[in-house]
Amino acid sequence: MSAPTPVVVAAYVAAYVALDWVSFIHPVGAFGITPWNPPPGLSLAFLLRYGLQHAPWLFVAALAAEFLVRGAPAPIAVLVAASLLLALSYTAVAAVLSRVLRIDVDLRSLRDVAAFITTSAIACALIALASVALFAGTGVLPPGEFREGVLQFWIGDLIGIVVTAPAVLVVTRRGTMRRRPSFETLAELTAIALALWLVFGAGLGDAPTLFYVLFLPIVWIAMRHGFDGAVFATLAMQLGLIAAIVVTGLGRSGTLEFQFLMLAIAVTGLLLGAAVSERRTIERELRTKQAALDRSLRLAAASELASSLAHELNQPLSAIGTYLRACQLMLTRKGTGDELALTMDKVIAEANRAASVVRRLRDFFRSGSTRIEPIAPSRLVDEASATLRERAAEHRVAVAATTDGVPDVLVDRVQVEAVLHNLLANAIDALKTTSGERRVRIDVAKDGSDFVRICVADNGSGVASDIAASLFDPFVTTKATGMGLGLAISKSIVDAHGGRLWHEARTPGSAFCFTLPTAS
Ligand code: ADP
């Protein structure tokens, strides 16, 4: 909270006196209890924005107004007491709002706007009762005007606060985007003027019964521009209303009635505007989060793929190197044409294998937009096992699959193959230290009528107990070169398909199972 500069303080006192002067219509008693009293709104905004320690300026401004606007209508002691009471009261309201209810003074949430309006309504009622009692007690106000005095005081201050304070807070808010007046702004102001004219100038009937027309532009603007729009629309409407009251020479009781109606408009507009702004903020935050999540998921998927592809590419590339060295040897010897052709074939086969690995990588990234299609689970299992056949053979792991009699599943082929690839690679890794027979079983079976369940089970080391609880969290790994992303990504892919992925401990080894929706 920054301290106000002397210019700001001077502007505040001057604005207080000026607003007191322009709003001095239909006063009750000599104290100018008017049906529209913006200075308290200005004072409240001043304290909320710059801090409660600047409360003495409220007293100065209130006393200055008594002298300059009303020419000191009562003995100086009463004027000082009344100004002190006002300053203390509004400081108390600001304290409740900022210290007890801890509202954000930028009024960015519906909760803050509702708390601001409710607190102001209760506080204004208490202040009205106390002030009017003081005036009546000191004989400044005739006893017959007590009730009307309280009512007018309450509505005048409340409408002044509800209309003025948010406008001041929005204007002095840091980082507020200033909207350039556009054709739309002009249309909105015209709508407010038109509505006021319909109510007061068109001679259509009794003004208060047509009052509902004034809601329309406020609702429109609040829906379009949120809280900030509603704040300025309400202010424009209130100024127009006061002008209309002065021009049409409406009496005090009519004015009072209009102020109650105006309060309904202001509260509706501000709450609606706050709700619209809050929703927009939430939507914006959600979009940002979603984009960040997308980015991190893609990044995670990319690193996982990169590490497993590096592994897969390493094999064909070193095989190609070995075969080519053999070819070189054969070329130095004569008469090995057949053998040379055979080895060259192997080089070509390995090069093709490397190319298919790269193609899979490209497919994966192209599949940023998912392509859901019906596919037989056996095809998914075959494709995934084919890519790991060499690795399984290298570690003497026997992979067997049973996939008969299950319906097609509705999935993104590339993504589900990546899941199977991850689970199979993990199973092979878990078997590396197993002595004796090393087995991986892939079982595909129906799971109820809507799902197919695929389990990849191994008789390996089993899941280490220290990571069992966080197995599916990212970056959980027991491998020296592992990224700990395979299971996390697999789970998010399976979740995205509407299935679920879980771990089952087996003796020996473990199984990872997941479900996929059937196509039919
Ligand atoms: P990474 O393979 O990079 O470590 P994963 O998320 O795929 O990442 O696996 C996380 C950890 O889960 C592995 O490091 C391993 O300790 C454990 N794990 C996964 N599958 C198995 C399995 N079939 N048997 C035993 N442990 C496993």
> Sorting pLDDT into bands at 50, 70 and 90, what band is 39?
very high
**Angle at alpha carbon of residue 153, lines to 76 and 237, rounded to 5°:** 125
What is the distance, to the nearest Å, from the Cα of residue 331 to the centroid of all Cα atoms in its chain? Answer: 69
Each residue's pLDDT tens digit, 266-276: 999 999 999 99
From 148-162, 164-178, 203-217, 322-336, the region with the lowest mean pLDDT: 203-217
- Looking at residue 25, its pLDDT comes to 67
Q: What is the mean pLDDT of residues 205-211?
A: 71
CA distance 298 to 201: 63
Protein residue closest via CA to atom 20 of ligand 1: 426
Each residue's pLDDT tens digit, 110-145: 999 999 999 999 999 998 898 888 778 877 777 778
- Looking at residue 33, its pLDDT comes to 62
Nearest C-alpha neighbor of 165 from the set 126, 218, 120, 123? 120
**Element spanning 457, H or E:** strand 451-458
User: Encoding tokens for residue 269?
Assistant: 């507009």
- Looking at residue 207, its pLDDT comes to 63
Protein residue closest via CA to atom 16 of ligand 1: 478
- 487 Cβ closer than 6 Å to some ligand 1 atom: yes
> Sorting pLDDT into bands at 50, 70 and 90, what band is 376?
very high
- 243 Cβ closer than 6 Å to some ligand 1 atom: no
Please state the atom number of ligand 1 nearest to the C-alpha of residue 487.
6
**Element spanning 497, H or E:** none
> Sorting pLDDT into bands at 50, 70 and 90, what band is 443?
very high
- Looking at residue 14, its pLDDT comes to 94
Q: Which residue did the predictor score with more confidence, 176 or 135?
A: 135
From 163-177, 207-221, 364-378, 381-395, the region with the lowest mean pLDDT: 364-378
Q: What is the mean pLDDT of residues 34-39?
A: 80
CA distance 227 to 274: 5
Span from the CA of 434 to the centroid of ligand 1 (angstroms):
15
CA distance 465 to 477: 12
Three-class secondary structure of residue 409 per DSSP: strand
Average pLDDT, rounded, for the chain: 85
Q: What is the mean pLDDT of residues 341-348?
A: 88
Span from the CA of 419 to the centroid of ligand 1 (angstroms):
13
Span from the CA of 499 to the centroid of ligand 1 (angstroms):
20
From 34-38, 338-342, 503-507, the region with the lowest mean pLDDT: 34-38
- Looking at residue 46, its pLDDT comes to 95
- 479 Cβ closer than 6 Å to some ligand 1 atom: yes
- 471 Cβ closer than 6 Å to some ligand 1 atom: yes
Please state the atom number of ligand 1 nearest to the C-alpha of residue 461.
25
Please state the atom number of ligand 1 nearest to the C-alpha of residue 304.
3
- 478 Cβ closer than 6 Å to some ligand 1 atom: yes
- Looking at residue 451, its pLDDT comes to 95
**pLDDT over 80 at 491, yes or no:** yes
DSSP output for 337-391: HHHHHHHHHHHHHHHHHHHHHHHHHHHHHHTTS--EEEE-HHHHHHHHHHHHHHH
- Looking at residue 520, its pLDDT comes to 75
**pLDDT over 80 at 201, yes or no:** no
Span from the CA of 477 to the centroid of ligand 1 (angstroms):
6
**pLDDT over 80 at 100, yes or no:** yes
Each residue's pLDDT tens digit, 274-320: 999 999 988 888 777 766 666 656 666 666 666 666 776 777 888 89
Q: Which of 9-18, 252-261, 410-419 has the highest mean pLDDT?
A: 9-18
> Sorting pLDDT into bands at 50, 70 and 90, what band is 101?
very high
Q: Is the pTM of this model over 0.75?
A: no
Mutational test site, ligand 1, from 399, 487, 503, 513, max ligand atoms within 8 Å of CB:
487
Cα–Cα separations (whole angstroms), residue 47 to 95, 100, 353, 405: 9, 15, 74, 76
